[in-house]
Copies of this chain bind each other. A is one copy, B any other.
Amino acid sequence: MLSETDKKFLKLAYEEAKIGYDEGGCPIGAVLASGDTLIASGHNQRVQQGDPIAHGEMDCLRKAGRQKSYKGMTLYTSLSPCMMCSGTVIQFGIERVVIGEDKNFTGNPQFLRDHGVEVLIADDADCIALMKKFIEEKPELWLEDIAED
């Protein structure tokens, strides 16, 4: 069950995704927060910076800068995290992940849960629609972003 704070930050993750879409990139956005406090937000930079490791979640964590600990923080992401981003969540000790949608890409929520991460999937209509539109418009870019043939 998403709290009002969760809804607010997931909406911001979606808005980051929308910025990415408008820039011609992969429309996936993320937010790092500690309770009601925003730490950082970001979005996929594959096209914009030619950077394959800058998925939405990674760009957000980069922008958050050096942290002594991620305890108590929540990572919000418009799309279910891939193995790179899921591995990062586990390595960084991020305890809670709120996912906009897992319809267009399943990601690895069970892998996260198996490592003790609390995972909520919002099934958000805006996130689903934006990602669906992108995949239909730029299927090759999407496959490149997840390194699939």
Contact = CB atoms under 8 A, between A and B. Distances in A.
Given A50-B66, A52-B61, A86 B87 contact: yes
A85 interface: yes
Interface residues of A, number: 32
Q: How many copies of the shown chain assemble into the complex? A: 2
Contact of A64 (B52, B148, B149): B52
A110 interface: no
A90 B52 CA distance: 14
A61 B52 CA distance: 7
A144 B67 CA distance: 7
A70 B25 CA distance: 21
A63 to B, nearest CB: 9
Nearest to A46: B66
Interface string A56-98: 0010011011111110000000000011111110111100000
Interface of A: 46, 50-54, 58, 61-62, 64-70, 82-88, 90-93, 144, 146-149
